[in-house]
Amino acid sequence: MAAALDWKGEGSSRTPFDAYTSEALYQRELERLFYSRHWCYIGLEAEIPNPGDFRRTEVGERSVIMTRDKEGKVVVVENACAHRGMQFCRERAGNAQDFRCPYHQWNYDLNGNLTGVPFRRGVRQGGRINGGMPSNFDPKEHGLRLLRVSTRGGAVFASFDPDVESFEDFLGPQILAYYDRLFHGPKLTVLGYTRQRIPSNWKLMQENIKDPYHAGLLHTWFVNFGLWRADNPARLVTDARHRHGAMISIRSGGGGGEVTRNVTSFKERMTLHDDRFLDVVHEPWWGEPTVVMLTLMPSVIIQQQVNALSTRRIRPSGPGVFDYVWTHFGFETDDDTMTRRRLRQANLFGPAGFVSADDGEVIECVQQSFAQVKHGHVYNELGGQQVDDHTDHMVSETLVRGMYQYWREVMEAKS
């Protein structure tokens, strides 16, 4: 059993560096955050429109397959053969009638039932039957491991935990309202993928999207063009347990002002050669906000930044590395011009995005420091030490404090 983190002192407003570097704590996070009690993001229904379509992905580090069965239901199974455990599915995506493990050719239907075992009743040689499975072998007991599945608005979540609360209770009413705002009815369309490996602890990306402070300081694009900065109207919202977050804002016209004075990322004379990157069209379902960034603990960030929409799945790989997998999407109701617009604006995001490349780089540099300095702590006290249920401005790190309050509880940190 991993040692719990010794976390005394100011509480959730100061996170010890060990929380980002310890292998033992990381193993405990996998067990308690990714493999139990939580719903993890799997993908979009639009990725598997037809029966037999499948897509391989992960929950935490564990390989799983999302598929659509013959009746059209979404199924998620673990990609581990019930015989000797082989990760039998090697393709990223495809269409299949059934799954066959290459090692000894055990066969499973799309619902994970074991349907074929070679030489189950032995092999006849010289008038005798040799070997085979024991007479009490029951294929029903040797299917693939099934995860619980929840689909809502076209996005698929799953959990290894049979006792996990409902997806709706997991999000809580406040976060669910923002989730439903985005996934508001029309079928989704997949516009493309980007993926990157970031050498930092996975939590730093959750924190980055719970940290509105940096957005108007680090990102030249946000400050100059008014997409996100400290003088924009904003709200920070969380659920009752403070594990998830929503950062909500309304864009302004950009330009100079009090919040750009002495801000080095503000470039007075910066203009775009191609201003179609910012050809923003207000969509009726937005309501007032032009940006809503949702952080769902532990596995995903869901982005609406003006017309650019994406899910960003987190796939941890040890305490110091994670993969960040972006699925850019739109709606079936979009015309070609809107699809073009979403794709063009997607240039701000993803691994080499005009905005997001900054985030990947800074959290890498933060992790380097954690690994070298060892006994420090992160100082999260912008806006106070308390955790607020909501704020109506963005000059606060309350969502980060809330996340660590929850983390300490689940991880049973010693305080």
Region of 226 on the Ramachandran plot (φ > 0 left; ψ -120 to 50 alpha; else beta): left
- Least distance from C-beta 136 to ligand FES, angstroms? 19
Q: Which is nearer to Fe ion, 29 or 359 (CB)?
A: 359
Q: Is 184 within 8 Å of 304 (Cβ atoms)?
A: no
Instruction: Specify the amino acid at residue 353.
Output: G
Instruction: Determine the residue with CB nearest Fe ion.
Output: 359
Residue 359: name its binding partner from ligand FES, Fe ion, none (Cβ under 5 to 8 Å by kind): Fe ion
The whole-angstrom separation of Cα 342 and Cα 304 is: 10
CA–centroid distance for 234 within its chain: 23
Residue 184: name its binding partner from ligand FES, Fe ion, none (Cβ under 5 to 8 Å by kind): none
By CB under 6 A, tell whether 187 contacts ligand FES: no
Burial of 209 (0-12, 13-18, 19+ CB in 10 A): buried
Work out the end-to-end distance of the chain between its first and last CA atoms, rounded to an integer number of angstroms.
19
The length of the chain is 415
Q: Which DSSP string corresponds to 162-216?
A: TTPPPHHHHHHHHHHHHHHHHS-SSPEEEEEEEEEEESS-THHHHHHTT-HHHHH
Number of residues lying near ligand FES (CB under 6 A): 9
Q: Which is nearer to Fe ion, 47 or 359 (CB)?
A: 359
Residue 221: name its binding partner from Fe ion, ligand FES, none (Cβ under 5 to 8 Å by kind): none
By CB under 6 A, tell whether 81 contacts ligand FES: yes
Q: Which stretch binds Fe ion (CB under 5 A): 158-166, 185-193, 309-317, 357-365?
A: 357-365
List 198, 359, 387, 411, residue binding Fe ion (CB under 5 A): 359
Q: Which is nearer to ligand FES, 97 or 105 (CB)?
A: 105
Q: Which is nearer to ligand FES, 83 or 393 (CB)?
A: 83
Distances, alpha carbon 13 to alpha carbons 9, 125, 167, 330, 396, in Å? 9, 72, 28, 37, 11
Residue 344: name its binding partner from ligand FES, Fe ion, none (Cβ under 5 to 8 Å by kind): none
By CB under 6 A, tell whether 108 contacts ligand FES: no
By CB under 6 A, tell whether 276 contacts ligand FES: no
Contacts 24+ apart (CB under 8 A), 267-275: 267/220, 267/224, 270/220, 270/224
Question: 139-178 mask for ligand FES (x: CB under 6 A)?
Answer: ----------------------------------------
> How many other C-beta atoms can be found within 10 angstroms of the C-beta atom of residue 233?
15
By CB under 6 A, tell whether 93 contacts ligand FES: no
Q: Is 87 within 8 Å of 50 (Cβ atoms)?
A: no
Which of positions 37-66 make contact with ligand FES (CB under 6 A)?
A: none
Sheet holding 74-78, edge to edge: 74-78, 62-68, 53-59, 93-95
The whole-angstrom separation of Cα 71 and Cα 202 is: 36
By CB under 6 A, tell whether 101 contacts ligand FES: yes
By CB under 5 A, tell whether 207 contacts Fe ion: no
Distances, alpha carbon 66 to alpha carbons 74, 155, 157, 168, 281, in Å? 7, 12, 10, 21, 34
Q: Which stretch binds ligand FES (CB under 6 A): 70-78, 98-106, 136-144, 209-217?
A: 98-106
By CB under 6 A, tell whether 119 contacts ligand FES: no
Q: Which is nearer to ligand FES, 48 or 101 (CB)?
A: 101
Residue 83: name its binding partner from Fe ion, ligand FES, none (Cβ under 5 to 8 Å by kind): ligand FES
- Least distance from C-beta 104 to ligand FES, angstroms? 3
Distances, alpha carbon 262 to alpha carbons 223, 228, 255, 256, in Å? 12, 17, 13, 10
Q: Which is nearer to ligand FES, 24 or 86 (CB)?
A: 86
List 14, 32, 37, 83, residue binding ligand FES (CB under 6 A): 83
By CB under 6 A, tell whether 278 contacts ligand FES: no
Instruction: Specify the amino acid at residue 73.
Output: K
By CB under 6 A, tell whether 86 contacts ligand FES: yes
Number of residues lying near Fe ion (CB under 5 A): 1
Question: 312-331 mask for ligand FES (x: CB under 6 A)?
Answer: --------------------
**Chain contacts with ligand FES (rule: CB under 6 A):** 81, 83-84, 86, 88, 101, 103-104, 106
